[in-house]
Amino acid sequence: MAMRLTAAVILLGSLLLSGCGVDLGTDQNGQKVASERIKGHWLVVNYWAEWCGPCRTEVPEFNALSEQLKDKKVTVLGVNFDNLQGDELKNAANALGIKFTVLAQDP
């Protein structure tokens, strides 16, 4: 019984650790976003939608933050609230003037 429990704990631990290096999916341009890119960075995650007035107001602020702090290991990532994909996501991000990386999937 103890041997099975030990094996189960080792298996579970291995599965959990295997997920640590998983990529974050793709961005609004279809490019892979590797987790290594943000390793050791502070993350600012901005959820946005085209219909959201405050989102439209804050996009320029997040663009500036992303540009100003890129050398300070701060990364701004966007996530579309409406789960847009492909060209819809790219077009919406472009329409709002988003210059930071937008993930195609909610992390």
Spans of all domains in the chain: 22-103
Contact 98, 63 (CB under 8 A): yes
Classified as helix, coil or strand, 43 is strand
Which pLDDT score, from 0 to 100, does residue 106 have? Answer: 83
CB atoms within 10 A of CB 52: 15
Calculate ∠ Cα 35-102-86, nearest 5°. Answer: 105
CATH code for the part of the protein at 22-103: 3.40.30.10
**pLDDT tens-digit series, residues 39-95:** 999 999 999 999 999 999 999 999 999 999 989 999 999 999 999 999 999 999 999
Q: Model confidence over 22-38: pLDDT tens digits?
A: 788 889 998 999 888 88
CB 38 within 8 A of CB 75: yes
Helix (H) or strand (E) holding 46: strand 42-48
User: Rounded CA gap, 104 and 19, in Å?
Assistant: 19
Task: Note the pTM of the prediction, 2 decimals.
Answer: 0.74
